[in-house]
C-alpha cells in the first residue's frame, strides 16, 4: 500500500512539474501524412477498424442512461444494424484510446452544459455516422516516432511510413497525438512544446482595408489580390454533377464523394496557405495593425460566391490573435467617405474606384484612402500612439521588398498603388 501511494505521489508530482514547465513553453502542432502506398492489407484493415470501433464506442456512450459511469475497460458495445441491435467486440482500440475517446465525449457534454447554464441556445450531441479522429494521449505508448521516416501506433503491427517528419524542429518536447482520417487518407497530428521566443514587436504601423476587388489594401500603398484557381472550381462543379446522377450510397457514389472531398480539401488548403503567409508577413513587419469591424455576414448575403474564396473572416481572426497590437475601428466609421488629407467627408458610390476630394483636390485610390484613414483613426483610439514617418527612400525600399516577398506566394498578386485608380507593380 505504501509503495502504491509513493508511486501515485510520484506520478502526481511529475504531472505537476510538466504542467508548470509547459506554462513557459509554446505549443505547436505538426501534421504528417501516413504513406498509404506502403501499407499492407492487414494494416489497412486495422486502420479502418480503428475508426469504425471509435464510431461504435462514441454512439454507445451517447446511448447510455448515465454517460458518466462508462468504464474505459469495456470490451463490447451495442451497435444498431438497420432495425435491430447487435453486440460488437472492440478488438483494435486500446484501453488508452478508449479512455481518451470517452474523456473527449464527456468533456463535450460538460462544455454544452456550461453553455446552457449561461442561457445560450445549444443542441445536444447526436449519433455519428463517422468518427474522423482518435486521440493518442501518451507519447511512447499510444504512438512513437521511430526515426525520420517511420512511426508506430498502438494496436497496429506494421510500422508506418510517414511524410513530413522533417518539419519537426530539433529538441522539441513531444506530447499527445491525434490519428486523423480525411477523405480516404490517414494523418498523424503531433503536439510539441518548445521554449517561447518573444522578439520585440516591429515599430511600423499599418492600416488594412478589406474588400472583394482587392482583398487587402495596406496604408503603405500595397494592394493584394488572390483567387482560387479556376480549374479547381470547374472540377468541383463537374464532380457535383457526376455525384447527383449516381445512385445514393452506391460504391461509385462513395468513390465520387471521396474525390469531391479531396477537391474541396485542396481548395481549402490553398486558402489556408495564402492566409497563413499573408498574416505571417503582416505580423513580422507591423507591430500595430488597424482594421475595421466589417459586416461580413452582409457581404456574404450579397456576394456569397466571392466571399467564399477570400477567407477575409479567417484573416481578421488570425490578426486578432497573432499581431502584437491589433486595433479594431468601429464599423460605422466613414473610412471610405473621408479624405485622408483634409478630413472632408463626401458620399462615394460603389462604382467609384477613385476618391476625388472637392476641398483639397486630392486624387487617390479609393481603398488606399480608406486604409490610411483606418490607420489614423486606430492610432487616435490608442492613447500615446503616433504614426511612424519614413523617408521616401525608406518607403520605396520597404515597398519593393514587400512586393518581392508577396508575389512569391502562389496565387497571390501584389502591386503598388502608384497613381490614382491604377495598380501596377513597382519594377
Do 226 and 149 reside in the same domain of the chain? no
Do 361 and 220 reside in the same domain of the chain? yes
Do 209 and 191 reside in the same domain of the chain? no
Do 322 and 229 reside in the same domain of the chain? yes
Do 156 and 304 reside in the same domain of the chain? no
What is the model's pLDDT at position 167? Answer: 92
Do 219 and 119 reside in the same domain of the chain? no
Set of cell numbers at residue 350: 460603389
What CA–CA distance (Å, rounded) separates 31 from 11? 29
Residue 2 lies in a domain: no
What is the model's pLDDT at position 49? Answer: 96
What is the model's pLDDT at position 198? Answer: 78
Residue 241 lies in a domain: yes
Do 110 and 32 reside in the same domain of the chain? yes
Domain boundary among 160, 195, 230: 195
The full 3-state SS of 122-178, as one line of letters, equals CCCCCCCCCCCEEEECCECCCEEECCCCEEEECCCCCCEEEECHHHCCCCCEEEEEE
Residue 5 lies in a domain: no
> Could you read off the pLDDT of 14-39 as tens digits, one per residue?
777 877 777 778 899 999 999 999 99
Residue 39 lies in a domain: yes
Residue ranges of the chain with pLDDT lower than 70? 1-5, 7, 383-396, 418-427
What is the model's pLDDT at position 424? Answer: 39
What is the model's pLDDT at position 421? Answer: 40
Find all residues with CB under 8 Å of 54, minimum gap 6, and list them.
93, 97, 101, 131, 134
Find all residues with CB under 8 Å of 347, minimum gap 6, and list them.
337
What is the model's pLDDT at position 252? Answer: 95
What is the model's pLDDT at position 54? Answer: 96
CB 156 within 8 A of CB 170: no
Mean pLDDT of the chain: 88
Nearest 10 degrees: Cα torsion 119, 122, 124, 130: -150
Residue 374 lies in a domain: yes
Residue 347 lies in a domain: yes
Residue 316 is part of which domain span? 205-424
Q: What is the per-residue DSSP string for 215-269?
A: SEEETTSEEEEE---HHHHHHHHHHHHHHHHSPTTSHHHHHHHHHHHHHHHHHHH
pTM of the predicted model, to two decimals? 0.82
Set of cell numbers at residue 310: 477570400
Do 224 and 189 reside in the same domain of the chain? no
Residue 117 lies in a domain: yes
What is the model's pLDDT at position 227? Answer: 81
Domain boundary among 170, 195, 220: 195
Number of neighbours of residue 70 by Cβ within 10 angstroms: 19
Do 190 and 270 reside in the same domain of the chain? no
Nearest 10 degrees: Cα torsion 328, 333, 339, 343: -100
Structurally, the chain folds into a number of domains equal to 2
Residue 11 lies in a domain: no
What is the model's pLDDT at position 386? Answer: 59
Do 95 and 167 reside in the same domain of the chain? yes
Domain boundary among 195, 224, 252: 195
Residue 336 burial (CB < 10 Å; 0-12/13-18/19+)? buried
What is the model's pLDDT at position 45? Answer: 96
Do 147 and 264 reside in the same domain of the chain? no
> Could you read off the pLDDT of 252-294 as tens digits, one per residue?
999 999 999 999 998 889 999 999 999 999 999 999 999 999 8
Do 52 and 141 reside in the same domain of the chain? yes
Set of cell numbers at residue 231: 480549374
Amino acid at each position: 500500500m505504501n509503495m502504491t501511494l509513493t508511486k501515485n505521489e510520484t506520478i502526481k508530482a511529475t504531472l505537476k512539474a510538466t504542467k508548470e514547465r509547459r506554462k513557459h513553453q509554446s505549443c505547436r502542432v505538426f501534421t504528417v501524412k501516413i504513406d498509404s502506398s506502403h501499407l499492407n492489407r492487414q494494416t489497412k484493415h486495422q486502420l479502418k477498424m480503428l475508426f469504425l470501433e471509435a464510431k461504435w464506442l462514441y454512439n454507445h456512450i451517447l446511448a447510455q442512461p448515465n454517460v458518466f459511469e462508462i468504464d474505459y475497460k469495456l470490451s463490447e458495445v451495442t451497435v444498431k444494424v438497420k432495425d435491430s441491435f447487435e453486440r460488437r467486440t472492440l478488438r483494435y482500440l486500446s484501453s488508452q484510446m478508449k479512455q481518451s475517446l470517452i474523456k473527449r465525449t464527456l468533456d463535450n457534454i460538460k462544455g454544452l452544459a456550461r453553455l446552457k447554464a449561461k442561457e445560450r441556445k445549444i443542441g445536444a450531441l447526436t449519433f455519428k455516422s463517422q468518427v474522423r479522429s482518435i486521440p493518442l494521449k501518451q507519447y511512447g505508448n499510444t504512438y512513437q516516432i521511430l526515426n525520420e521516416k517511420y512511426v508506430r501506433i498502438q494496436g497496429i503491427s506494421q510500422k508506418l511510413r510517414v511524410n513530413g517528419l522533417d518539419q519537426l524542429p530539433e529538441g522539441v518536447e513531444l506530447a499527445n497525438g491525434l490519428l486523423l482520417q480525411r477523405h480516404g487518407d490517414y494523418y498523424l497530428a503531433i503536439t510539441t512544446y518548445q521554449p517561447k521566443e518573444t522578439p520585440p514587436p516591429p515599430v511600423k504601423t499599418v492600416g488594412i482595408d478589406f474588400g472583394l476587388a482587392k482583398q487587402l489594401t495596406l496604408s503603405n500603398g500595397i494592394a493584394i489580390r488572390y483567387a482560387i484557381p479556376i480549374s479547381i472550381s470547374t472540377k468541383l462543379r463537374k464532380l457535383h454533377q457526376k455525384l447527383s446522377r449516381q445512385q445514393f450510397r452506391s460504391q461509385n457514389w462513395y468513390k465520387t464523394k471521396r474525390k469531391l472531398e479531396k477537391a474541396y480539401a485542396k481548395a481549402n488548403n490553398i486558402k489556408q496557405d495564402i492566409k497563413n503567409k499573408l498574416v505571417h508577413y503582416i505580423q513580422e513587419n507591423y507591430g500595430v495593425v488597424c482594421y475595421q469591424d466589417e459586416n461580413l455576414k452582409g457581404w456574404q448575403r450579397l456576394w456569397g460566391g466571392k466571399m467564399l474564396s477570400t477567407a477575409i473572416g479567417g484573416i481578421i481572426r488570425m490578426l486578432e490573435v497573432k499581431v502584437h497590437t491589433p486595433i479594431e475601428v468601429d464599423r460605422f466609421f466613414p473610412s471610405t467617405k473621408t479624405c485622408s488629407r483634409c478630413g472632408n467627408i463626401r458620399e462615394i458610390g460603389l462604382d467609384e474606384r477613385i476618391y476625388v476630394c472637392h476641398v483639397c483636390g486630392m486624387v487617390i485610390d479609393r481603398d488606399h484612402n480608406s486604409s490610411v484613414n483606418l490607420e489614423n483613426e486606430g492610432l487616435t483610439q490608442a492613447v500615446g500612439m503616433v504614426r511612424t514617418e519614413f523617408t521616401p527612400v525608406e518607403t520605396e525600399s520597404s515597398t519593393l521588398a514587400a512586393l518581392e516577398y508577396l508575389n512569391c506566394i502562389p496565387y497571390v498578386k501584389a502591386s503598388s498603388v502608384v497613381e490614382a485608380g491604377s495598380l501596377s507593380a513597382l519594377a
